[in-house]
Amino acid sequence: MKLAEAARRVKGSEMPQGKVQNQNIQLLNNRDMVFMFTTCSRRSVEVHMNIALSKHARVTFAQPLYAQVRTHILVRIKAGEWAAGEALPNEFALASEFDVSVGTIRRAIEGLEEQGVLVRKQGRGTYIGGEGRNPLQEKFTALRSLTGAMVSVGYRLEGIVQRSISSLEAEALRCALSTEVVEIQQAVQIDGDEIGVEIAVVSALKFPRLETQLVYGQHLYQLYCQYGVLITQTKDVLVVAPAGAETEKTLPAAAGGHVLTVIRQAFTHDRLPIEYRISHYRADKVSYACTTT
């Protein structure tokens, strides 16, 4: 099924609202739904490593060597070993420290530079992104004012729960139907006004004890980095329709107006789907810039 046809089905039906329960999303639950992602070839040789995700949990991932190095760099930045604005050791020093080739180091950090976590200064080296920046939020927040201007977006955590995965979510995340997921619901605010709600779903296996790390509203992609997961691309489907009864329960301010619904998949550098998200925004308050890919 083409995405345009999927979008028409969404427009003609009531989208899942609030706590996304399995029975609420049957309208997109057909096996013939096709998402806009392709499978990239993986390196034939993979090794396992253990990463301390927090003081509470440890999990094992199968990752290519460059991805392991990138994960370790992210963890050390988060731990404060390299402060904002501080120079990263040069590529040869990092290659020696990690006992890998310089080419592996370069591939490990290229995604971090692209996302703004690291900043390369010509002739001077590579530096940690400036203090107070959230480059992932800057890149992947597509909300704009009605005139297209950038806006300052805030979040309020409304709930986080672990539950069984739905068949739609399993297809989107390429997970087995036996997988447990973590559902995160956040209100979206601009200048203190709540203009939307976002409901994100991720694998509980990839993000163990996420509820202990997410204690207040925030942009989620920076949080994912704490687990060694870097979002580098998203695919969005947009639908504008009158607010229905269920939408009004989740987003009361939208009553009587139109709602912009965004269905998003988020991917890593290796094209692995990490997050499935359904968001609803007041169409009389914001516009949406589809420039995140």
* Structural element, H or E, at residue 257: none
Tell me the whole-structure pTM to 2 decimals: 0.62
For 115-171, the pLDDT digits (tens) are 677 888 878 888 887 554 567 787 889 999 999 998 999 999 999 999 999 999 999
Residue 201: CA count within 13 A, CB half-sphere: 30
| The pLDDT of residue 38 is above 60 | no
What are the structural domain ranges in the chain? 3-38+134-288, 47-128
DSSP lists the bridge partners of residue 120 as 126
For 42-66, the pLDDT digits (tens) are 222 222 223 333 333 333 445 788 8
pLDDT band at 220 (very low <50, low <70, confident <90, very high): very high
| The pLDDT of residue 92 is above 50 | yes
Domain at 3-38+134-288, CATH homologous superfamily: Chorismate lyase-like (3.40.1410.10)
pLDDT of residue 115: 67
Residue 168: CA count within 13 A, CB half-sphere: 21
Within 10 A of 153 (CB to CB), how many other CB atoms are there? 17
Six-digit token string for 212: 């202990």
* Structural element, H or E, at residue 136: helix 135-140
- Find the Cα–Cα–Cα–Cα dihedral 230, 235, 237, 238, rounded to 10°: 60
SS3 26: helix
Q: How far apart are CA 190 and CA 180, in angstroms?
A: 32
Asked whether 160 and 223 are in contact (CB, 8 A), the reply is no
Q: How far apart are CA 289 and CA 157, in angstroms?
A: 24
Residue partners of 103: CB distance under 8 A and separation at least 6: none
CATH 3.40.50.2300 fits 47-128, yes or no: no
- Dihedral sign for Cα atoms in the order 78, 84, 86, 91: positive
**Is 3-38+134-288's fold the same as 47-128's?**
no
Q: What percent of the chain has pLDDT over 70?
A: 74
Asked whether 62 and 46 are in contact (CB, 8 A), the reply is yes
Residue partners of 290: CB distance under 8 A and separation at least 6: 142, 236, 238
For 228-282, the pLDDT digits (tens) are 788 889 999 999 999 888 777 788 877 788 999 999 999 987 899 999 999 999 9
